[in-house]
Amino acid sequence: MDALTSALKVAASGLGAQSERLRVVSENLANAQSTGTTAGSDPYRRKTISFVSELDRASGASLVDVGSIDRDHSDFPVEFQPGNEAADEKGYVKMPNVNVLIEMADMQEANRSYEANLQVVKQARDLISMTIDLMRS
């Protein structure tokens, strides 16, 4: 495969991976207050995403792929909310282990990486059209 096309393919895989990351961040943020439904039950557990590099055999370029979406096994913070349906006998509710600040930072980073990949797509396209322009002169 021609190298510029494979550059486009690699950048597209990067875009896909970063948007998947953004999806996980939005799931975490949306469920930042999702407690359990029965007394003392566990709330939403934060999801984490990791990427792996994978070799594209056709072009020899290294694509990126979503490796695994795991759960964050850190402890749940507890809050005193006796009126909540997930409260235990003492009135404490386990809250999701989602830290909004961390999610925001993660979102920002996903955004930056997405922009960088988009820049690569733009440039590869420009290089291809510069080559095509040779035929016009």
Partner 1 sequence: MEPVNLFGLATKQAQWLAVRQSSIAGNIANANTPGYTATDVQPFEKVLDQTAVSLRATQAGHLGSGATDASFAIKQQDYTGSIMPSKNTVVVENELLKAGEVRRGFELNTAIVKAFHSMMMSVVKG
Told to check if 130 binds partner 1 by CB under 8 A, we report yes
- Closer Cβ to partner 1, 102 or 127, answer by number: 127
Told to check if 137 binds partner 1 by CB under 8 A, we report yes
Q: Out of 22, 32, 78, 120, point to the residue binding partner 1 (CB under 8 A).
A: 120
48 - beta bridge partners?
70
CB 37 within 8 Å of CB 9: no
Which element (helix H / strand E) includes 18?
helix 3-30
CB 33 within 8 Å of CB 95: yes
42-81 residues near partner 1, rule: CB under 8 A = 50-53, 59-64
Please give the size of the binding site for partner 1, defined by CB under 8 A: 39
Report the alpha-carbon distance of residue 101 to residue 64 in Å, rounded: 26
Q: Are strands 92-94 and 47-55 parallel, antiparallel or unpaired?
A: unpaired
* List of residues contacting partner 1 (CB under 8 A): 2-4, 6-8, 10-11, 13-14, 17-18, 21, 50-53, 59-64, 109, 112-113, 116-117, 119-120, 123-124, 126-127, 130-131, 133-134, 137
